[in-house]
Structure 1
Amino acid sequence: MILPLAKHSAPIWKQKFKNISKISPEIKKLVADMRETLELTSGVGLAAPQANAPLRLFIVDYGRLKEVFINPKITNYGKETDSVEEGCLSVPRVRGEVNRVVRIEIDYIDLKGVRKKAALSGYFARIVQHEYDHLSSVFYTDRVVDKKSLYTYKPIKIVFFGTPEFGAIILQTLYGQQLVGEYSIDLVVTAPDKPSGRGQQLTPSEVKKMAERFNLPVVTPDSIKNVKLINQLKKLEPDFIVLASYGKLIPEEILSIPKKGALNVHPSLLPKYRGASPIAAAILNGDKFTGITIMKMNEKMDEGDILAVVKIRVSPKDTSETLSIKLANVATRLIHHVLHLAAAAKIKPKPQDHKRATYTKFLKKADGYIDWKNPPKNLEAAIRAYYRWPGVWTRYKGKILKLLPNKMVQLEGKEPTVLSEFKTGHLDFTLGW
């Protein structure tokens, strides 16, 4: 569960925080929720009072240091110091330079109830000191080298466009930064609800589900040229539009609205695989690498100037589903970097080489059909590429038979089963991969 964060002016900071006498299920649940909240906010540490729990506990998740500190006590402060700029989840949109010791020693109890000692240095020591201060209601703003070093900044105003899970993951990380004051997500635009499942019930997009989970304003226009939508966007005066797999081309009338630009988070190494199904194309073609490209949008399909690229390896076992999640997680880190550089006009767009462009198409259910008696040579790759949509399927004795990853099949009206077992009961079915 995502926990609300106590700002530095909250009443909880007037309390004296208690030691924990027993590591109960409630404490473990608190830690789990704190970890989920910390991950969402892209933070490195979180103290229990920040999560509105008046307890002497904090967590750290940075690099190799992933630990729960219960009833901690710093037993030794080194003499060497350095000054580094800090921020805090409880003091949003403010940063300042803080002088801290470089080395510390700390006693604490971990989540298993084991008493431990740790000697920490560098940034690890700084994070722990920062969180340890919270247990005494002390903030980094109380320790700045010079009050004049403190500076504030306005949140980046964003309108987000997206539809599937890939977009929902990116929206979630943007919301995490909204919690700490970095962004203001003023509107989410996604596709209308669509009939789904056997009952063909109207089902919201993954992005709409995420927006509603976080109480973000969301609209589902039938047309991207909707006059009401365009007028709404103009009134919001966003700094950026951020688009991640929305599914429609955005007209120039909308692209010209944001003050600092419209950014597209595209899951391929552009100019390769422009269009609607780049993830499936990478798997189908047996690519060993793919990646995330963030570009400045224009009215053409994925032709905008490139702002940043990250390359990742494609696993031989990846499906479109697993690779989409991997790419979205890469994009969550990259989009923060690009937004801040672009907001400060410190990033130089690079034109694409249009001569090297390749294209992908919208996938339809029919694209997944095969003749099981005359299958394509790349059947195994197609099964992974088209999972879960449109799926690879065929007809067997008048029924739809789905071909699934990991050599599984599912006959219409039946549960999935292992291919070898299915063939044992259906000797005339000779397809293999």
Structure 2
Amino acid sequence: MSSAIVFAYHNVGVRCLKVLMAAGVDIRLVVTHKADPNENIWFQSVEQVCVDYDLPHLIAEDVSLPVLQEKAAACTPDFLFSFYYRNMLGADFLAIPAKGAYNMHGSLLPAFRGRAPVNWAVLKGATETGASLHAMEVKPDKGAVVAQVPVPILPDDTAAEVFDKVAVAAELCLHGVLPALLAGKAPHVEQDHTKASYYGRRTPADGAVNWSDNAQTIHNMVRALTHPYPGAFTDTVHGKLFLWRTRVLTQTMNIKPGVMQVDAMHRVVCNPGGGGTLQVLNAQLNGETLDAAALMARFQGSLKLPL
């Protein structure tokens, strides 16, 4: 029986941890995060899985603590797995497992290395992403790929919808290659680093809309940041406007750039400075729903945007 220590969080952590359990892997330690009370917790709990299944586990936010490294080393595992654990593991951890350390990343590597790969893929207008199991190196997301499972990104998919697909892809990815990996026969394909793209951590402040962009770019931003994420927003003279759901209209419309207005079909539409027509399906101004009726009642049918 192969043994492992697992660093895991979020839905991907839950699903992949259960794959290891189903395969009979001896899980000697699970390291996870404590739920942040200031964060919108919309995902499943790795800690709860450990409680439910009597798995040895601990909460660790600082992986540099010597006591954590000592506990991990004392487990003498064959493998180390990282499934959406938020902190980077250094060389000391990667040297612990006898048969290798592996990470599940939420993209088709080498594309979208780094943080928040699903959100970035949607924001950048990608039409496909997926899950990649790869060997861990000190430099993140650069190790040889063991397996990948792709998923489509449809034109109006939100990041949350894509993340649900990626979580399933991660489960399928690990489940499919795990027998070969445990037997020491899994392929290890080096990444083409010339095709790599890297993106960093996002913050709520990064959701500010640039109305000089075109409609498609803004639509991508809205669906990348909508619920359960903090949202795409803009500051107007009337207060903060959040865009939660939009779509790009194919027909050309004679709309003055930088004005959100009610059209003849009683839709809320706007023409950003970069071109195209954006229909606003769900928005809030100062926390209140902004629909066609509200726009007509409060602003005579139009609201100026900061170009």
* TM-score scaled by length of structure 2: 0.77
Task: Work out whether residues 194 and 204 of structure 1, in 8 Å CA contact, stay in contact via their aligned partners in 2.
Answer: no
Could you say which residue in structure 1 is the equivalent of 2:243?
403
Structure 2 CA distance for aligned equivalents of residues 418 and 216 of structure 1? 48
Superposed, 1:34-433 pairs within 5 Å as: 154=1, 156-175=2-21, 177=22, 182-196=24-38, 206-370=45-209, 374=211, 376-377=213-214, 378-387=217-226, 388-396=228-236, 399-405=239-245, 407-414=281-288, 417=289, 419-427=291-299, 428-430=302-304
Structure 2 CA distance for aligned equivalents of residues 317 and 214 of structure 1? 38
Q: 1:338 to 1:203 in 2, by over 3 A?
A: closer
Structure 1 CA distance for aligned equivalents of residues 37 and 42 of structure 2? 6
1:271-310 CA distance string (max 9 Å, x none):
1111012111211121111121110111111000111122
Task: Work out whether residues 61 and 87 of structure 2, in 8 Å CA contact, stay in contact via their aligned partners in 1.
Answer: no
Deviation at 1:421, TM superposition (A): 4.0
Task: Work out whether residues 78 and 97 of structure 2, in 8 Å CA contact, stay in contact via their aligned partners in 1.
Answer: yes
Amino acid at match of 1:310: V
Deviation at 1:263, TM superposition (A): 1.0
Q: Could you tell which deviates more after superposition, 186-195 or 343-352?
A: 186-195
Larger Rg: 1
Q: 1:410 to 1:161 in 2, by over 3 A?
A: farther
Could you say which residue in structure 1 is the equivalent of 2:259?
none
Per the alignment, in what secondary structure is the counterpart of residue 159 of structure 1?
A: strand
Deviation at 1:430, TM superposition (A): 4.6
Task: Work out whether residues 297 and 303 of structure 1, in 8 Å CA contact, stay in contact via their aligned partners in 2.
Answer: yes
1:33-62 CA distance string (max 9 Å, x none):
xxxxxxxxxxxxxxxxxxxxxxxxxxxxxx
Deviation at 1:268, TM superposition (A): 1.1
Structure 1 CA distance for aligned equivalents of residues 26 and 285 of structure 2? 47
- Identity over the aligned pairs, expressed in percent? 28
Unmatched 5+ residue regions in structure 2?
A: 247-280
Task: Work out whether residues 3 and 25 of structure 2, in 8 Å CA contact, stay in contact via their aligned partners in 1.
Answer: yes
Per the alignment, in what secondary structure is the counterpart of residue 310 of structure 1?
A: strand
Amino acid at match of 1:249: M
Structure 1 CA distance for aligned equivalents of residues 45 and 93 of structure 2? 23
Per the alignment, in what secondary structure is the counterpart of residue 158 of structure 1?
A: strand
Structure 2 CA distance for aligned equivalents of residues 173 and 209 of structure 1? 16
Structure 2 CA distance for aligned equivalents of residues 258 and 403 of structure 1? 46
Per the alignment, in what secondary structure is the counterpart of residue 191 of structure 2?
A: coil
Per the alignment, in what secondary structure is the counterpart of residue 194 of structure 1?
A: coil
Structure 2 CA distance for aligned equivalents of residues 423 and 370 of structure 1? 20
Structure 1 CA distance for aligned equivalents of residues 14 and 132 of structure 2? 17
Amino acid at match of 1:324: F
Structure 2 CA distance for aligned equivalents of residues 226 and 204 of structure 1? 27
Q: 1:398 to 1:376 in 2, by over 3 A?
A: same
Task: Work out whether residues 170 and 331 of structure 1, in 8 Å CA contact, stay in contact via their aligned partners in 2.
Answer: yes
Task: Work out whether residues 132 and 173 of structure 2, in 8 Å CA contact, stay in contact via their aligned partners in 1.
Answer: no
Q: Which has the higher contact order (CA 8 A, sep 6+)?
A: 2
Task: Work out whether residues 193 and 203 of structure 1, in 8 Å CA contact, stay in contact via their aligned partners in 2.
Answer: no
Could you say which residue in structure 1 is the equivalent of 2:254?
none
Task: Work out whether residues 394 and 402 of structure 1, in 8 Å CA contact, stay in contact via their aligned partners in 2.
Answer: yes
Unmatched 5+ residue regions in structure 1?
A: 1-153
Task: Work out whether residues 31 and 58 of structure 2, in 8 Å CA contact, stay in contact via their aligned partners in 1.
Answer: yes
Deviation at 1:385, TM superposition (A): 1.0
Deviation at 1:241, TM superposition (A): 1.6
Q: 1:396 to 1:357 in 2, by over 3 A?
A: same
Q: 1:171 to 1:390 in 2, by over 3 A?
A: farther
Amino acid at match of 2:74: K
Structure 1 CA distance for aligned equivalents of residues 108 and 42 of structure 2? 31
Structure 2 CA distance for aligned equivalents of residues 331 and 423 of structure 1? 43
Structure 1 CA distance for aligned equivalents of residues 141 and 135 of structure 2? 9
Q: 1:398 to 1:195 in 2, by over 3 A?
A: farther
Structure 2 CA distance for aligned equivalents of residues 239 and 322 of structure 1? 35
Per the alignment, in what secondary structure is the counterpart of residue 429 of structure 1?
A: strand
Q: 1:343 to 1:367 in 2, by over 3 A?
A: same
Per the alignment, in what secondary structure is the counterpart of residue 37 of structure 2?
A: strand
Per the alignment, in what secondary structure is the counterpart of residue 195 of structure 1?
A: coil
